[in-house]
Homo-oligomer: A and B are copies of this chain.
Amino acid sequence: MTDEASTPETEVLSLLPSRLRTARRDKGLSLDAVAKLSGVSRSMVSQIERGESSPTIATLWNLTRALQVDFAGLLEGVDEPAGIEVLRNANVPLIANAGQGCSIRILSPPEEVGRHEVYDIRFQDSGILDSAPHKRGAREHLTVISGNVRIKAGDKVEMLGPGDTARYPVDQPHTISAEAGPAQVFLVVQDA
């Protein structure tokens, strides 16, 4: 798959992989199960769900049959929820065991994975979060709420204090760490 620039127009396409994966998981099906149901191989289903290959409409059609999702609807843009969506503090999903001395709160809905992910990250003193490279074109937008933070992206390093914001490409290894005392940051990951 040629890695197309993600202009606003192509956003529907880049949304498709996560939608398929979500649909499958919601039904509690394994890749293997879907493969048998649809006649599409495990590997293909996996690649498609990871956005590593652009299926032919014939293949996609077979998948929609197996997953019992609406073909037309799959390609439609997200319909913004009508009213105000509220995610209460107490209900925020939490990743406790990422990195060392840090906990990650997931603020964006599963549908948005891969497009626009929002996290609230809390570091203990000297807490550190190491991340593997995401796919080319992905960027992170980070704002410090409190504390002092050190950002390392590739071979570049920056120090940030409260209120500071950094944006950087993450198609390379990158690290966020609290420097003197605990810290809290807001992180937006684009096009991961």
What are the 6 closest A-B residue pairs judged by CB atoms, nearest first?
Answer: A54-B58, A54-B56, A72-B72, A72-B76, A71-B75, A72-B75
Please tell me if A23 contacts chain B, counting CB pairs below 8 Å: no
Please tell me if A10 contacts chain B, counting CB pairs below 8 Å: yes
Q: Which residues of B contact A9 (CB under 8 A)?
A: 65
Contact mask for chain A residues 65-105; partner B; CB cutoff 8 A; 1 contact, 0 none: 10000011101100000000000000000000000000000
The interface of chain A, by Cβ under 8 A from chain B, is 1-2, 4, 9-10, 12-13, 16, 54-61, 65, 71-73, 75-76
Q: Which residues of B contact A2 (CB under 8 A)?
A: 58
Query: Apart from A1-B58, A55-B57, what 10 extra A-B contacts exist at CB < 8 Å?
Result: A4-B58, A12-B61, A16-B57, A54-B57, A56-B57, A57-B57, A57-B60, A72-B72, A72-B73, A72-B76
Q: Which residues of B contact A10 (CB under 8 A)?
A: 61
Q: Which residues of B contact A56 (CB under 8 A)?
A: 54-57
CA distance in complex: A10, B65 (Å): 10
CA distance in complex: A59, B57 (Å): 10
CA distance in complex: A64, B163 (Å): 44
CA distance in complex: A87, B1 (Å): 47
